[in-house]
């Protein structure tokens, strides 16, 4: 071919520009790749040189995937569907879009997967927009201090480990210690608060998720709650995306100056799903075979929560991530990572479960790094010495087991500590109002429950709760603000309790 002939051939970019400038339906440019390898939940795709990280790819079989690894001549793709539907040599096309989640008020009351597809038998959710599941966390200057309390309805948490709107509080413990119950109980207590709730089930069994949905519906919270489920039978890619999708929806409502509560149940399964995908993609394993970026995976997720300034929407995202331990090992890799990321942890102890003490919250290990700043003055006044009293009681209880003769003062302290510990017990998914909690705690601290057996104590607390619901509405009105518990209010509660307890044996303070 002569030089003259070469000059007459236009370059590809010039040819493409001319074709696109033509009037009418012209040719469409599409990039096509093929599946080179297929694994359990992943695919290796060749031929899509211009694909971007986190881009959604469409397989000819109808399965979608997300680009996780970008290497020369090779893409590591996480499948969002059954891998047995994909075959080697199958055609793959780019979508030129990143993984997104539909957002809008129409999602409330629905059960969807990590892509926003319905799982409750209804039609597609009525979304107003679609947002990428990956987003940068708000900057420090776009945040405000956490000062408003989030009432969970659980005495031991609201009194001793308070949670604020915009806080990230870890729920940690072994299997079957009540982590999910605490998260669901916190959701049920938001019935009259206007807080929007999102429950994200990651790697949970279908029957367990169904029970949670039934509980939320029975509690009257389904209309203001979104459930995102990625079951253990689903693709690992959906489990990996689910918490990011939940935070994306939460960010939409927070941008409308709403308060949102997100329960991520649980991040142990999320970490295992990411480890599975990373090992299949031949990423180098690190400690406990997790990839080196597992800390960043969870940090960039949880940092999206917080209390935001008006210029960033003015709302808040409170996150309750759940993580499972084995044999109470808090020093395992994933638990220590999450403890360092969050603003505190609530530890549920198997030792307390064996003693039938529910909620099994171990106050010696549990902590809220926001502390009393997110607690009303009334709670601070009543529960300020609760931790010290219980810790001293447990030490005396251990000492008393040796059969040592105890003096009257020590026996009285043991009786008071046992009464306070019993007063902190609470039924599963039975949230209490702030006034009911305060009344029970005031009566327990003042000694009116001392010496009661378990059945009598529960009956006394139920009677006191009923009296608080029917009685002093003016106290509830004052406590709803920033007013402390006055001596007159305290005396009123104690007099009411004495009137209820007199038929039970004439106990007094």
CB 290 within 8 A of CB 272: no
d(CA 255, CA 317) in angstroms, rounded, equals: 10
CB 45 within 8 A of CB 75: yes
Q: What is the pLDDT of residues 430-477, one digit of tens each?
A: 889 888 998 999 999 999 999 899 899 999 999 999 888 876 666 766
Query: Minimum mean pLDDT among 23-27, 68-72, 145-149, 374-378: which range?
Result: 23-27
d(CA 43, CA 278) in angstroms, rounded, equals: 12
**Bridge partner list, 266:** none
Domain 101-374 CATH class label? alpha beta
Instruction: Characterize 178-202 residue by residue with b for buried, 16 or more Cβ atoms within 10 angstroms of its Cβ, and e for exposed.
Output: bbbbbbbbbbbbbbeeebbbbbbbb
Q: What is the pLDDT of residues 335-363, one digit of tens each?
A: 999 999 999 999 999 999 999 999 999 99
Question: Rounded to the nearest 5 degrees, what angle is found at the Cα of 62, between the Cα atoms of 60 and 67?
Answer: 80
Alpha helices in 148-304 (DSSP H): 155-160, 179-188, 206-218, 236-254, 267-280, 294-302
Greatest distance between any 2 Cα atoms in the chain: 115
d(CA 48, CA 32) in angstroms, rounded, equals: 6
- Domain 30-98 fold is Elongation Factor Tu (Ef-tu); domain 3 (2.40.30)
Any residues with CB less than 8 A from the CB of 245 and at least 6 apart, and which? 101, 114, 115, 116, 133, 200, 228
CB 103 within 8 A of CB 249: yes
d(CA 453, CA 434) in angstroms, rounded, equals: 25
Reported confidence tier of residue 19, pLDDT bands at 50, 70, 90: very low
Q: What is the mean pLDDT of residues 251-279?
A: 96
Q: What is the pLDDT of residues 92-120, one digit of tens each?
A: 999 999 999 999 999 999 999 999 999 99
What pairing do the DSSP bridges indicate for beta strands 225-230 and 111-112? parallel
pLDDT value at residue 1: 43
Q: Which residues participate in catalysis according to the annotation?
A: 369
Please name which of 96, 44, 54 lies closest in space to residue 74, comparing C-alpha atoms: 44
Whole-angstrom Cα Rg for the chain: 28
Residue 455 backbone phi and psi in degrees, to 5: -65, -45
pTM for the model stands at 0.90
d(CA 243, CA 252) in angstroms, rounded, equals: 15
User: Residue ranges of the domains in the chain?
Assistant: 30-98, 101-374, 382-504
The domain at 382-504 falls in which architecture? Answer: Up-down Bundle (1.20)
Any residues with CB less than 8 A from the CB of 373 and at least 6 apart, and which? 145, 146, 147, 164
Q: Is the pLDDT of residue 259 over 70?
A: yes
Please name which of 66, 101, 93 lies closest in space to residue 277, comparing C-alpha atoms: 66
């Amino acid at each position: 071919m002569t030089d003259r002939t070469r000059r007459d051939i236009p370059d590809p970019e010039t040819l493409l520009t001319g074709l696109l400038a033509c009037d009418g339906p012209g040719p469409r440019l599409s990039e096509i790749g093929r599946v080179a390898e297929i694994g359990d939940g992943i695919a290796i795709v060749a031929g899509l040189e211009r694909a971007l990280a986190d881009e959604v790819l469409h397989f000819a079989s109808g399965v979608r995937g997300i680009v996780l690894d970008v290497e020369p001549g090779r893409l590591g793709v996480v499948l969002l569907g059954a891998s047995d539907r994909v075959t080697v040599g199958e055609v793959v096309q780019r979508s030129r879009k990143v993984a997104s989640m539909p957002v809008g008020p129409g999602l409330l009351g629905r059960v969807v997967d990590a892509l926003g597809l319905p799982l409750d038998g209804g039609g597609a959710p009525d979304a107003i927009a679609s947002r990428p599941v990956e987003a940068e966390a708000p900057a420090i200057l776009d945040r405000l201090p956490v000062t408003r309390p989030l009432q969970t309805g659980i005495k031991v948490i609201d009194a001793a480990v308070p949670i604020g709107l915009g806080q990230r509080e870890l729920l940690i413990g072994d299997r079957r210690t009540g982590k999910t119950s605490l998260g669901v109980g916190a959701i049920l207590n938001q019935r009259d608060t206007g807080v929007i709730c999102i429950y994200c089930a990651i790697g949970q069994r279908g029957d367990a998720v169904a029970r949670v949905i039934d509980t939320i519906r029975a509690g009257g919270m389904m209309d203001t709650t979104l459930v995102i489920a990625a079951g253990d039978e689903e693709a690992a890619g959906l489990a990996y995306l689910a918490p990011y999708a939940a935070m994306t929806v939460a960010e939409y409502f927070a941008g409308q100056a709403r308060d949102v509560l997100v329960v991520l149940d649980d991040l142990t399964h999320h970490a295992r799903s990411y480890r599975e995908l990373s090992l299949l993609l031949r990423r180098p394993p690190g400690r406990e075979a997790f990839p080196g970026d597992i800390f960043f995976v969870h940090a960039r997720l949880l940092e999206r929560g917080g209390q935001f300034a008006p210029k960033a929407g003015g709302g808040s995202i409170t996150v309750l991530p759940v993580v499972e331990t084995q044999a109470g090992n808090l020093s395992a890799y994933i638990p220590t990572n999450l403890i360092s990321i969050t603003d505190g942890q609530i530890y549920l102890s198997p030792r307390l479960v064996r003693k039938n003490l529910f909620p099994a919250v171990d106050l010696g290990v549990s902590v809220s790094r926001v502390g009393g700043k997110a607690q009303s003055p009334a709670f601070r006044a009543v529960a300020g010495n609760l931790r010290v009293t219980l810790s001293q009681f447990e030490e005396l209880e251990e000492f008393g087991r040796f059969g040592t003769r105890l003096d009257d003062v020590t026996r009285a302290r043991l009786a008071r500590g046992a009464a306070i510990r019993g007063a902190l017990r609470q039924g599963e998914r039975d949230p209490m109002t702030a006034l009911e909690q305060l009344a029970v705690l005031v009566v327990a601290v003042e000694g009116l429950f001392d010496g009661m057996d378990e059945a009598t104590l529960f009956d006394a607390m139920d009677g006191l709760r009923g009296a608080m619901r029917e009685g002093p509405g003016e106290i509830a009105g004052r406590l709803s603000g920033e007013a402390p518990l006055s001596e007159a209010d305290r005396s009123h509660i104690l007099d009411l309790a004495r009137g209820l307890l007199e038929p039970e044996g004439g106990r007094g303070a």
